[in-house]
Structure 1
Amino acid sequence: MSGVIPPLVTPVDGDGEIDRASVDRLVGFQLDAGVDGIFLGGSTGEVALLDSRRQAELLDVATSAVAGAVPVLAGAIDTGTARVIERARHAVEHGADAVVVTPPFYVQPNGAEITEHYRRVSAAVGAPVVAYDIPSAVGSRLTPDVVAELAESKTVVALKDSSGDLVTFRDITRHRPGFPALTGSELLADVAIDLGAHGLVPGLGNVDPHGYVRLYRAARAGDRVAARAQQERLLDLFRIISVADGARVGFTAGALGGFKAALALRGVIANPATNPPLSPLSADETTRIAAILASAGLD
């Protein structure tokens, strides 16, 4: 649980079915960049919008393409413990090496209930569990006390932090330096590594995995100048998520649509479509993304 582990988008065709050829190309693109793992069915992978059949097909195709080269992580994200266990078992049956689990949402659990949730999932699944802190989506936090308890009891094997809270992240890495903590930040990856992050899980890594691999390796080698240079280049590239007209589409459609449009422009996936109810980008927005790619040297 270290290195660069991009949370992959889910390529679909015009009918919303898994685009198997594009999944193959996307996985190959990531492996060619030297990533250390892949994460399927996360927020960037539109996990909240995929049914069980398409989740299974995505895992089958991707794990076949990976062929054991790197670990495959899969999201098992749902409202309650029983539903998460069902999703997690399903993911493992279809080739996942580990499952990534948020706290339950909709029910507003407290810290003790969140801890019990992870204990039950870990006991029932028989595969490594990664705790996923993304309060913007689930409405509750994985506090340092909860993370410490889960780590000490070996209930979870790592933390994927998408809270945007570097102060709490620093507290966790400072008090448990041996526990793998992965950052989901695209823009503060170099800083997070300085604070003790073991790895990066950047959505923008779909579009430029080579850049994040260079950043990670430079930062781990102590070359802050090179790491910062990569981070600043990626910061400019990240503008692709804000191209969409916010009066026409929501933030998620703009961000994931930006990633998929960039991948289609780069020839990695065939179709930039997102899943309903997310709206597609316009031709003008796609043209603007192409200009950003060109300025980043990725045309």
Structure 2
Amino acid sequence: MTQPDFSQRLHGIIPPVVTPLKPDFTVDESALRRVIRHLLDSGVHGLFLLGSTSEVVFMDAPARREVLRIAVDEVAGRVPLLAGVIDPTTDRVIAHARDALAAGVDGLVVTAPFYTRTSQAEIAEHFRAIRVAVDLPIMAYDIPVCVNVKLERSTLKQLRREGLIEGLKDSSGDDTNFRLLARECAEDPDFRLFTGSELMVDTAFLVGAHGCVPGLGNVDPAAYVALYDAAMREDWTEARRLQERLIRVFNIVFQGTPRTSAGASGVGGFKTALKLLGIIEHHHMHRPNLPLNDEETVRVAEILRAEGLLPAQERKLVPGV
């Protein structure tokens, strides 16, 4: 896929795909294929593999390659595939990027380096080195809560001027900065802006976003696709109605706290919901993160049932999930 084709195809709802695990903590291929089919059948416009929701930082290179192999085979070119190549150092990221290129994905998703502190100049050099080493389009990923440094607007615009990035996935939570970036990039329509927020999607589309990368999209992808469709026809009343419902569904991410960390509760909520929906068999998390327990699972089921995602008649829950 050429870079112009990449930009034109990159829009809409691109969920960050969860990584189902077997009890031995290896990738569950059959479950991952069911998750991907669930997303494609709901009309999503692309898939983001090996991101935060995928628990990528817990995965070694062979496990990452396995996820990519499965996804590329299952998708078979139907939608664009983005691969997160997330690691603390430039050379490790390049190694993951070469694996992603060999697997056959369409583009890369790259954060700033992390653990060691880096300047904006060093971040720019990080992106340059990756782009030179691997001939795939890059989406920048701004997630300061995880990498402890923000991709500043000036840095992003510099990377764009140099032809190093095709767009941004913004998970910074800084909606003011996102709006300013959209305004400043309005004359560059091929620069693709995606929000990583599940809760401000209607607003993001209103100010110029091209798409959304919602973790909750694993659970209810059809609702996010409907929200996108409403925004594209400028039916903001319907977009807001759908957003308000998704905010209620989003409460599944809080059911594991304070027993688990916020991140584990969030991804754990998605996995628990997928298990309740019959899409995955196990909702294990990568260690040391803990899965939701029986009591927390019941609360997730109640939220799904209230929003019509589970039948009104209570489904029997399996003890010890």
TM-score (norm 2): 0.92
- Give the match's secondary structure for 1:148: helix
Shift of 1:244: 1.3
- Give the match's secondary structure for 2:169: strand
Structure 1 gaps of 5+ residues are none
The equivalent of 1:278 in structure 2 is 289
- How many matched pairs? 298
Shift of 1:53: 1.0
Q: Could you tell me the percent identity over the aligned residues?
A: 46
The equivalent of 1:176 in structure 2 is 185
Amino acid in structure 1 at the alignment position of 2:36: V
Amino acid in structure 1 at the alignment position of 2:287: P
The equivalent of 1:122 in structure 2 is 131
User: Cα RMSD between the aligned structures?
Assistant: 0.8
- Give the match's secondary structure for 2:178: helix
Distance 2:176 2:212 in 1: 17
Counterpart of 2:257 (choices 245, 249, 260) is 245
Shift of 1:95: 2.3
Amino acid in structure 2 at the alignment position of 1:112: A
Segments of 4+ moved more than 3 angstroms: none
Counterpart of 2:68 (choices 24, 36, 59) is 59
Counterpart of 1:137 (choices 135, 146, 151) is 146
Distance 1:13 1:20 in 2: 9
Shift of 1:96: 1.6
TM-score (norm 1): 0.98
The equivalent of 1:207 in structure 2 is 219
Aligned counterparts, 1:108-119, within 5 A: 108-119=117-128
Distance 1:245 1:103 in 2: 28
Counterpart of 1:12 (choices 15, 18, 21) is 21
Distance 1:244 1:107 in 2: 30
Amino acid in structure 2 at the alignment position of 1:255: G
The equivalent of 1:38 in structure 2 is 47
Distance 2:75 2:96 in 1: 21
Shift of 1:131: 0.4
Shift of 1:245: 3.4
Distance 2:83 2:184 in 1: 27
Counterpart of 2:268 (choices 253, 257, 262) is 257
Structure 2 gaps of 5+ residues are 1-9, 311-321
- Give the match's secondary structure for 2:83: strand
- Give the match's secondary structure for 2:112: coil
- Give the match's secondary structure for 1:232: helix
Shift of 1:150: 1.0
Counterpart of 2:174 (choices 165, 179, 190) is 165
The equivalent of 2:104 in structure 1 is 95
Amino acid in structure 1 at the alignment position of 2:80: P
